[in-house]
Structure 1
């Protein structure tokens, strides 16, 4: 619908123009004013696309009205009527930005022709504005992703264009499916309605999205619970959410983003949880008062998952819990540390049961707590050497997953699907994949698919929609958007070779 303002001091003339407007067949909302002064007052409260005005009117003439409107509302189209055929009026009208000048009495055919031209011009300008916004949004997505993943960008230019000083919190969301491949605008508007607040959304890949929020003083864990319920109830999709602490500066975005990724990668320690806070995660890292039962549970999981980094960290925390100055039960502590040694020997699948019995016996005969620690640390060192020899630097599960991606990138892929292939939990697979490759699993899948798409665009004449399907995208528009955000150019430009790319990912 278009809004039109008719300004003429003669009611009969206004009625005549309204009659001609009805004949256009276009849905219009028509406003009236009897002079330029009233028209300017109305425009303060009502947006109008087209102004139809007479020249000679009391208080404020049509020319004066056109002058003020062209300076205050430059996007408004102005059509001027006059019973005077003096060319000087037309010259002045053009100088004030008047689109068309029609003589009275108005010729209906000429009026219809002029209105059609004005409406088409408005449509064209709106389409160009939408395209400009889309192009700008693609560039925002491209540069911001590049920045978050550690690419080289002009930070000052980013600040000027993105205006991220207004955002104070980030929430990273991972889904168990390709949820973010759906129509972006539909999903965003529904979520905004649900949580009743605005946000900036950055699509990372089909299974991950990053959300930026403006509110400084808000319960973000409560917000995350609302978002979790939104995904689960409306879309039947399970997700994990990690919320940052308050962002202090634009420069810290990459580090905070990396920390959020790590929080979700470590979630296999708490498979029953869905919402994680960066602050709570940091508190857990420094909290030396964790219960021994919880620490023992984590240590046994570390051994089972062959995760030496976390094993060493949790073992150091356990040592602090049982510091020599603290009161403790000697037999219980020896039992606890002997459980760790037994688990280590079982993980190494050593057939020498006598050796295990000797080590446990030595531990129970130890007089000092430090000797108990040393015996346990010695077993941990043996485990580390065993894993290094066994795996020769690469986890077999990661290799299997990468090979599966290479051979099945056309099919639906997700962390859940890939974890099932190698009999690991999704959280643990995510963790070891990042440890081995330095890249998030979902991002690895996207990077490989993008490279394949680029290769097909440059070396085949297949339709873009066909290429999208061949590299695993069910949604063609999402493929085109992802390609542009990843390479900084459209698939069409890539095929024509009319633009240079700056690839934003690590080579596979």
Structure 2
């Protein structure tokens, strides 16, 4: 509802105008002020759509009030009324930006025409502003989506000015175990933003991930970013009964480095695999690797490392070695001799079974471990051989090109079906984590992104070369939810499917 402020030093005049507004059925909230100074005080406190003021008033006349009021609220519509019809008043009023001028006594028809005109102008301006705001919000999302998907420079959008910050203070990656966004509506974004006490930009990345980008705050928040991450996790759990994992970076990220920042967050999020009871992941968090020393025995950790080595999962090897180091660092009852024995055993597991080493070199490594001053030195020694192992695995990974080629071909032929990391990994007899790792290494993007790229390309071809309905195209490229398909297509190509088809059609005729 619009608000009108009636300003007149005569109470009868104020009440008479309010009565007219009510009788004519105008949807206006009516406020009063008895002089120009009080009207200005009201305008400084509260937003108003229409100012209806008498010209002749004590303390401050209507022209002075208009001049000062438009400084406070530039979009204010001002209607002057007065018993004095002098030309100079009207001329001055027009120069100040007054919308209309009524003469006393106010004629009902003239008053009705004037109010209808002014309300129509305000409504039209609001509609334009809302459309502009929606366009800017959509374009901003598209630009950020483009940046986080690997474009290193700020994209441009013809006819729309978007002010992106030079950097974001922090990034938070949200991840779900299921394809949550296949079923969650657009209100989920509003829900997430309502949990925060500081401004943030939100981007939906795919079916199970979204990103929060926090600009530099104008005022400090009472919550740290880790606490914000915990609020998000708890809010989603309470409202949707689903686990939301959150990864938090530790430093500001330049606008051109958003893709790198997202990659770092995705690597951090991989600790989910090793810490299933951990929901918030922050860099350099000691509790990230080992939360309860009594639950994991050395043999369990070593068995995990053996499985990692079998699957050529270097990331898993490194993470589990870190778990072992953190365990020993936190529990002081272990003797130096025992710790050195365990790591020498681990060293032999790595070198004997996976590296071609002479007995002399093997014994030299064991000797270095036993001569180490502290656990950090032992960790460095082990990591030297992990690097050699990683190089060997890299050199011998040509055999996995065949697996990647098979997965690509399968996706290209079955993009309309439900595809998951687990089902694809089973087809090439690899662990899901290892398939994800080698696919991203060989292709330069994750499996989810590759599947989305294929589906979007197929959708583009169908929109360009056929007359199929958008709903039919959605199902034929693997999206059961049409609105979710349209959202993904718009994020990918910058236009909705309907707009894209119109653009292609217009371009062909031209």
Map Cα deviations across residues 203-228 of structure 1 (whole Å, 9 max, x no partner).
Answer: 22232111123458854334323322
1:163 equivalent in alignment to 2:165 = yes
Matched residue of 2:205: which SS? strand
Q: Determine the structure 2 residue equivalent to 1:356.
A: none
1:185 Cα shift?
Answer: 5.5
Match of 1:278 among 261, 280, 283: 283
Q: Determine the structure 2 residue equivalent to 1:392.
A: 399
Name structure 2 gaps, 5 residues minimum. 290-295, 328-335, 370-383
Q: Answer yes or no: is the 8 Å Cα contact 1:269–1:298 preserved in 2.
A: no
Tell me the TM-score normalised to structure 2 length. Answer: 0.75
Superposed CA RMSD in Å reads 4.8
Q: Determine the structure 1 residue equivalent to 2:232.
A: 227
Aligned partners of 2:282 and 2:506: how far apart in 1?
Answer: 40
Q: Determine the structure 1 residue equivalent to 2:263.
A: 258
1:438 Cα shift?
Answer: 1.4
1:200 equivalent in alignment to 2:205 = no
Q: Answer yes or no: is the 8 Å Cα contact 1:171–1:241 preserved in 2.
A: yes
Inter-CA distance 335–381: structure 2 relative to 1 (3 Å threshold) = closer
Map Cα deviations across residues 299-349 of structure 1 (whole Å, 9 max, x no partner).
Answer: 313223233576589889999x9xxxx74699867765565579769xxxx
Map Cα deviations across residues 46-91 of structure 1 (whole Å, 9 max, x no partner).
Answer: 1101111222222222222222223331111122223344444333
Matched residue of 1:205: which SS? coil
Inter-CA distance 105–196: structure 2 relative to 1 (3 Å threshold) = same
1:446 equivalent in alignment to 2:452 = yes
Aligned partners of 2:193 and 2:339: how far apart in 1?
Answer: 55
Q: Answer yes or no: is the 8 Å Cα contact 2:202–2:212 preserved in 1.
A: yes
Map Cα deviations across residues 148-201 of structure 1 (whole Å, 9 max, x no partner).
Answer: 333142499999812355x42211112223334566762233234445444221
Q: Determine the structure 2 residue equivalent to 1:58.
A: 58
Map Cα deviations across residues 213-272 of structure 1 (whole Å, 9 max, x no partner).
Answer: 345885433432332232233213333321100216555544332211222245434444
Q: Determine the structure 2 residue equivalent to 1:457.
A: 463
Q: Determine the structure 2 residue equivalent to 1:488.
A: 494
Choose 87-96 or 125-134, whichever is displaced more: 87-96
Q: Answer yes or no: is the 8 Å Cα contact 2:171–2:248 preserved in 1.
A: yes
Inter-CA distance 83–427: structure 2 relative to 1 (3 Å threshold) = farther
Aligned partners of 2:109 and 2:340: how far apart in 1?
Answer: 103
Q: Determine the structure 2 residue equivalent to 1:210.
A: 211
1:186 equivalent in alignment to 2:187 = yes
Matched residue of 1:261: which SS? helix
Equivalent positions of 1:26-425 (< 5 A) are: 26-154=26-154, 161-163=163-165, 165=167, 167-180=168-181, 186-213=187-214, 214=217, 218-247=223-252, 249-250=254-255, 252-265=257-270, 267-280=272-285, 296-307=302-313, 327=337, 336=346, 369=365, 388=396, 392-394=399-401, 396=403, 398-399=404-405, 401-411=407-417, 413=419, 415=421
1:439 Cα shift?
Answer: 0.6
Aligned partners of 1:146 and 1:32: how far apart in 2?
Answer: 51
Q: Answer yes or no: is the 8 Å Cα contact 1:176–1:416 preserved in 2.
A: no
1:423 Cα shift?
Answer: 7.1
Alignment coverage as a number of residue pairs: 473
Q: Determine the structure 2 residue equivalent to 1:287.
A: none
User: Which has the higher relative contact order, 1 or 2, with Cα contacts under 8 A spaced 6 or more apart?
Assistant: 1
Matched residue of 2:98: which SS? coil
Q: Answer yes or no: is the 8 Å Cα contact 2:147–2:154 preserved in 1.
A: no
Q: Answer yes or no: is the 8 Å Cα contact 1:363–1:372 preserved in 2.
A: no
Map Cα deviations across residues 361-420 of structure 1 (whole Å, 9 max, x no partner).
Answer: x979x86545999xx989x9799579948x624263x55554454344445555566567
Name structure 1 gaps, 5 residues minimum. 285-289, 346-358, 502-508
Tell me the TM-score normalised to structure 1 length. Answer: 0.75
1:425 Cα shift?
Answer: 6.0
